[in-house]
Structure 1
Amino acid sequence: MELKYEFYIHAGREEVWNALISPDGTRSSFFGSELRSNFQPGQPFAYVGPGNDGQETVHVYGEILEFEPLSRLAYREHPGPSYYANHGDLQSRVLFQLETVGECTKLTLTNDEFTENHPSFSNAQNSWWMILSSIKTWVETGKTMNFGG
């Protein structure tokens, strides 16, 4: 199972990269969560924000696989503990890639290597469209998107 998305964003790679890793960028695009990590391969990361366990809910956590500034970010992820009792057994890989195309940045997201029968697969299909649309909007306009709920 593989999910793959390509978005063209009218901005430089620095701005798009900032949206992927900075607290302001991730809060604006990842449903209010911050990406917390030292970004060293082999080291942990977590998206933490409002949710089932209050303001410090761990939504996704795992291990950084690749970190090439302005180019590639990859991690192995697990759903947060409040989602599934067997969260540690469930995983997938996420890879963000940035390329300059003219005056734009092409953002490619690949989410693959899902554990068999991963219960979050269908949710990921929907959520990535929202997250990527939010990244594009925030980078291009400075505004966040409100999906309600």
Structure 2
Amino acid sequence: MDLKYEFYIGAAPEQVWDAFVSPEGTRQTFFGCVIRSTFRPGDPYEYVGPGNDGEETVHVYGSILAYEPYKVLSYTEHPGPSYHSNHAELETRVTFTLEPVGGCTKLTLVNDQWKPGHPSYENAKGHWWMILSNIKTLAETGKTLDFGW
């Protein structure tokens, strides 16, 4: 049930990191959202952006587990309250890891600790490919993909 993705990206770890952590990067790669957090382990975070509840929709939220700039970002993840009434019970773990490989960066994403029947599993399985492809494209070209949204 674990979701694991590996991408090799023709950019420095700093550029890849900015594509999925900085407000400028996440707006472009995570469907217009930004991450709100102190990024201290144990502290909360939330991805907020346009959606079901307007411009301030909480899409996912949880707690920071690990934060090492340009190396590791790990957090628990719950779907936002507007998606499932039992959102607090629906928890997975997401871990982004960056490693330099020659002149490029290996981005590994693991989304694990899924409980059987989790209603967001199929959605996550498809959306991670889009998000990671967008991160790769943005880091390499400075542009994002047009998914027709």
Please report the TM-score for the alignment, with normalisation by the length of structure 2: 0.98
Amino acid at match of 2:3: L
Could you list the structure 1 runs, at least 4 aligned residues long, displaced by more than 4 angstroms after superposition: none
Q: Which moved more, 1:109-118 or 1:89-98?
A: 109-118
Seq. identity, %: 63
Q: Which moved more, 1:111-120 or 1:87-96?
A: 111-120
Question: Corresponding residue for 2:111?
Answer: 111
> CA separation in 1, counterparts of 2:146 and 2:114?
29
Question: Where does the alignment leave 5 or more consecutive residues of structure 2 unmatched?
Answer: none
Deviations 1:94-145 (A, max 9, x none): 0000000010000000000013310000000000000000000111111122
Question: Corresponding residue for 1:92?
Answer: 92
Aligned residues between the structures: 149
> CA separation in 1, counterparts of 2:8 and 2:143?
17
Please report the TM-score for the alignment, with normalisation by the length of structure 1: 0.98
Deviations 1:53-98 (A, max 9, x none): 0011000000000011111100000000000000000010000000
Question: Corresponding residue for 1:71?
Answer: 71
Q: After the TM superposition, which residues 1-149 of structure 1 pair with which residues of structure 2 at under 5 Å, given as runs?
A: 1-149=1-149
Amino acid at match of 2:83: Y
> CA separation in 1, counterparts of 2:83 and 2:5?
25
> CA separation in 2, counterparts of 1:115 and 1:36?
26
Amino acid at match of 2:106: K
> CA separation in 1, counterparts of 2:36 and 2:104?
27
Over aligned residues, Cα RMSD in angstroms?
Answer: 0.7
Question: Where does the alignment leave 5 or more consecutive residues of structure 1 unmatched?
Answer: none
